[in-house]
Structure 1
Amino acid sequence: MNILLVGAGLSGAVIGRQLAEAGHQVTIFEARDHIAGNCHTERDADTGVMVHRYGPHIFHTDDAEVWGYVGKFARFLPYRNRVKTTVAGQVYSLPINLHTINQFFGTAMRPEEARRFIEDEKADTSITDPQSFEDQALRFVGRDLYEAFFRGYTRKQWGMEPSQLPASILKRLPLRFNYDDNYFAHRFQGMPEEGYSAMVAAMLAHEGITLHLNTPFKRGMAAGFDHLFYAGPLDGFFDNQLGRLGYRTLDFEEFRHDGDYQGCAVMNYGDEDVPHTRITEHKHFSPWEEHEGSVLYRETARAAGPDDIPYYPIRLLEEKALLSDYVELAQGCAGVTFVGRLGTYRYLDMDVTIREALDAAAHFLEHGTCPAFLTPPV
């Protein structure tokens, strides 16, 4: 068949590769001038540092098949994401662990002592069914830790009160009563040695794949193709006819430093009087390399406008209602499958994006077609 894919990020690259290997002819339209979407990486010309142009992406998964799949296209080297945060002039480890607790409260508690201390003296045990981000934090870490590490950062990141956000956002972050400062707990964690763009380029390097960069998609361009896999914005596919889905976007302020600026890859800033949410120092994402110069970015979050790159779907009540209307429209479109973070209006880690792309390709190869959504986004 003659297959069209919109978007040369992870979804498009994985689906395209799987279908091309099965003998289909694949065409990919990409609006930007590069591949790999928001995980695009490139070498800085002056320092040689591998830069994550749209913010850092750390690969972590418990899915052995996905880990094996990306390993076919890139050499992954070990990397542990050890995030630090600056609050009230002190530097702490995130996620909250035993070191964070002892440092913050000026104690030297052992694991069970700290567990009892948080549960008996700090946590709000009157909250039995946390519904909001704030409820979740107060129930499990208490007001002191919540106000220091979560409230200000969350207000900056989401532009709203934590009491307005669902508890599910905070449930992704662990609370540890040991000294483990690895941000993730997945079995497989690492970084591609030569960056994500090189990995995606290897996926797209197949004679059955034709790539067109700088090619924004309009629905009429799908004429003549047997099936379309669409990884662009769901509302954009319909020319925003029902309204725009809400996203947060990021502004990046680049600066340079001669030497080591902050001693770690990611430094969060929880204080509300600091406008940026974090500073990322990109040479630390490749600890197997050595660079004298350094490339850094201050990240500031705000509401996404029509011309901004969407990063985080908001998915509150108003957006979910609009999403349901767009899903209904999408399900009435024959020969189109919506995939990826933008196509399904969901926050997806890279491994989940790849898993869903593999599943979509497998479904198509088995049935010769694919529904609008393999995983309903509502």
Structure 2
Amino acid sequence: MSGPRVLIAGAGLSGATCARVLAEAGIQVEIREARGHVAGNCHTARCSETGVMEHVYGPHIFHTDRPEVQAFVTRFARFRPYQHRVKARVGGQVFSLPVTLHSINQLFGTTLSPAEARAFIAARSRPPPHGGAPENFEEQALAMVGPEIYRAFFAGYTRKQWGCDPALLPAAILQRLPLRFNYDDRYFSHAFQAIPEAGYTALTEAILAHPRISLHLNRPARPGDAREEGFDHLIWTGPLDAFFGQAEGPLGYRSLRFEREVLPRCRDAQGCAVMNYPDADIPFTRISEHRHFAPWEDPPGTLLLREYARDCGPGDPPFYPLRLSGEMARLNRYLARAREAAGVSFLGRLGTYRYLDMDVSIAEALQAGAALAEALRSGRPLPAFPGGGGA
């Protein structure tokens, strides 16, 4: 078949989005996916015992302020509005998360106004002892909310989720979470918040439904496949260190173990979509009840998933790049290799070893696909890693 050919490793949202852009630009694309389904960790499937649409690898809520991303995904699926709200069971009480004015007043037994609460928290904040900007998660938390809120909602949960002392984690993890001095208990504040009515797997299948895209499930791609089989380019969405055979040593990832509880005759077990458990003596981090992610449905039963975080071992799906301070030198060596590698671009959470929301992954894949299509047609150099680079 004439014309450029691109091989994509992975049929998650990043790989599928890039494939669609390339295909619509007239480029032949082959996708090889190691699992037996598309959509990666966003995979959804109908539970036969309860009728609930299950987020198989944990909850995924689509939220974005990027109009180009919203326009892209709504081409392929009907999205239903969904406002995510999270509760936390702490010390025998139930609080709303993220931390809001209600959380503050409930924890401290006060009735503060927004202005009073700002001053109250500011008085409890603890700047880093070195006098500079917070350098890790714990310093960021103490500077942002003070010791009481940190101990109640973040310290124990963070140790369970990441498997290490919060002082070893990047400050940026907490910077993603809002602190509100009002009673808005929505977890996200983006303009577009929704879930695809038929699930993320159906969305991804629709994105991949193009005559120039061929999909092969249960077939992992190898780093050398594109070169050996005459493809013009490789898009790699798997783990960055795996592409280089872990030549610089393994990068750290966290995985999750899910404990399913099926209740075929119960319509509501916990009253909310997600209940966090920050207390250190409880081994799991949260319980998600998946019927609440589709409030437009009324299945006869319900399904609970308890999440246990753990280090990623052989055969475990990698969920979260750790990016611990002690391994940043190793990461930088991999990034240097990626920038110098010919004929391959790295995309997605694993391919760029970053924590990315779904909309950011899609936005970068849209840009990467457009840049790669132009480069293949014109012979121009590819842009720099990450986000579709000729790394």
Q: Same fold (TM over 0.5)?
A: yes
**Displacement after TM superposition at 1:219 (Å):** 2.7
Mapped partners of 1:178, 1:269: distance in 2: 23
2:126 aligned residue (117, 124, 131): 124
Q: Is 124-133 or 292-301 further displaced after alignment?
A: 124-133
User: Hey, what does 2:385 align to over in structure 1?
Assistant: 373
Distance 1:343 1:52 in 2: 22
Structure 2 partner of 1:267: 275
Match of 2:87 among 80, 84, 105: 84
- Which shifted more, 213-222 or 45-54? 213-222
Letter in 2 for 1:336: V
Match of 2:154 among 139, 150, 153: 150
Amino acid at match of 2:114: P
Equivalence for 1:104: 107
Q: Which residue of 2 aligns with 1:310?
A: 318
1:135 equivalent to 2:148? Answer no
How far apart are residue 267 of structure 1 and its match? 0.3
Partner residue in 2 for 1:233:
239
1:185 maps to 189
Q: Say whether the 8 Å CA contact 2:367–2:387 is kept in structure 1.
A: no
Instruction: Report if aligned partners of 2:42, 2:200 keep a CA contact under 8 Å in 1.
Output: yes
Q: Is the 8 A contact 1:94 1:181 kept in 2?
A: yes
User: 1:194 aligned to 2:198?
Assistant: yes
Residues in 1 aligned to 2:101 and 2:294: alpha-carbon distance in whole angstroms? 27
The 2-side partners of 1:266 and 1:115 are apart by: 27
Amino acid at match of 1:26: V
CA distance in 1, matches of 2:386, 2:332: 15
1:36 matched residue in structure 2? 39
- Structure 1: 5+ residue runs without aligned partners? none
Look up the SS of the partner of 1:69 in the other structure.
Answer: helix
Cα drift, residue 160 of structure 1: 1.2
Deviation at 1:292, TM superposition (A): 2.6
Measured after TM superposition, the shift of residue 357 of structure 1 is 0.3
Q: Which string of whole-angstrom CA distances, capped at 9 and with x for unpartnered residues, describes residues 337-372 of structure 1? A: 111111111111000000000000111122226356
Alignment-mate amino acid for residue 116 of structure 1: A
Give the deviation of 1:278 after TM superposition: 0.2
How far the C-alpha of 1:25 sits from its partner, in A, is: 0.9
Gapped runs of 5+ residues in structure 2?
none
Q: Which residue of 1 aligns with 2:60?
A: 57
How far is 1:306 from its partner?
2.7
What amino acid is the match of 1:124? R
State the SS of the aligned residue for 2:224.
Answer: helix
Identify the match of residue 299 of structure 2 among 291, 295, 302. Answer: 291
The CA distance in 2 between the partners of 1:163 and 1:288, in whole Å, is: 42
Q: SS of the counterpart of 1:141? A: helix
Output the TM-score relative to the length of structure 2. 0.93
Q: Is the 8 A contact 1:85 1:267 kept in 2?
A: yes
Q: CA deviation at 1:265?
A: 0.5
Q: Is the 8 A contact 2:10 2:32 kept in 1?
A: yes
Separation of aligned partners in 2, 1:246 and 1:125: 29
> Is 1:219 paired with 2:231?
no
Q: Give 1:376 deviation, angstroms.
A: 9.6
Query: Secondary structure of 1:215's partner?
Result: coil
8 Å contact 2:291–2:302 — kept in the other structure? yes
Q: How many residues align?
A: 376
- Measured in 1, the distance between the counterparts of 2:211 and 2:128 equals 62
Contact 2:82 2:193 in 1 (8 A): yes
Say if 2:6 and 2:28, in contact at 8 Å, map to a contact too. yes
SS of structure 2 residue aligned to 1:358: helix
- Helix, strand or coil for the counterpart of 2:23? helix
Between the aligned partners of 1:370 and 1:47, the Cα distance in structure 2 is 48
Tell me if the contact between 1:62 and 1:187 (Cα under 8 Å) persists in the aligned partners: yes
Show the counterpart of 2:25.
22
The answer to whether the Cα contact below 8 Å between 2:347 and 2:388 also exists between their aligned partners in 1 is no
**CA distance 1:24–1:126, shift in 2 (3 Å):** closer
CA apart distance, 1:99? 0.7
Written as runs of structure 1 = structure 2, the 5 A alignment for 1:273-352 is: 273-352=281-360
Partner of 2:212: 208
Q: Secondary structure at the match of 1:219?
A: coil
> Which residue type is aligned with residue 237 of structure 1?
F
What is the rounded CA distance, in whole Å, between the counterparts of 2:77 and 2:382 in structure 1? 29
TM-score relative to the length of structure 1: 0.96
**Alpha-carbon distance in structure 1 between the residues aligned to 2:257 and 2:128:** 39
Report the residue type matching 1:111 in the other structure.
P
CA distance in 2: counterparts of 1:241 and 1:253, whole angstroms: 35
In structure 1, distance between residues paired with 2:168 and 2:234: 37
CA deviation string 1:265-284 (max 9, x = no partner): 10000100000000000000
Percent identity between matched residues is 59
1:78-115 residue CA offsets vs partner (Å, 9 max, x unmatched): 11110000001100000000111111111222111211
